[in-house]
Amino acid sequence: MSQLFTSLECSIIFLSQTLHLLDQDDSLYCISAWNDQGYEHTAEDPALLYRVESMPGLGWVLKRSIYKDELEPKWPTPEKLWDWDMWMRMPEQRKGRECVIPDVSRSYHFGIIGLNMNGYFHEVYFKKHKFNTVPNVQLKNVDSLKKDSYEMEIQKLLKAAEVLDHTKNPCEDSFVPDTVGKIYVMFIKMESESDTFTWTELAKCLHVWDLDVRGNHRGLWRLFRKRNQVLVVATPTSPYS
Active site residues: 85
Taken in order 122, 174, 197, 184, the sign of the CA dihedral is positive
> Rounded distance, CA 175 to CA 204, Å?
15
> Rounded distance, CA 73 to CA 93, Å?
12
> 3-state DSSP helix/strand/coil percent for the chain, to nearest 5?
35, 20, 45
Q: Which helix (H) or strand (E) holds 67?
A: none
Strands (E), 16-56: 28-32, 49-52
> Rounded distance, CA 225 to CA 73, Å?
43
> Rounded distance, CA 144 to CA 205, Å?
32
CB-based burial of residue 169 (10 Å sphere; 0-12 exposed, 13-18 middle, 19+ buried)? Answer: exposed
> Rounded distance, CA 115 to CA 195, Å?
29
Pairing of strands 183-190, 162-163: parallel
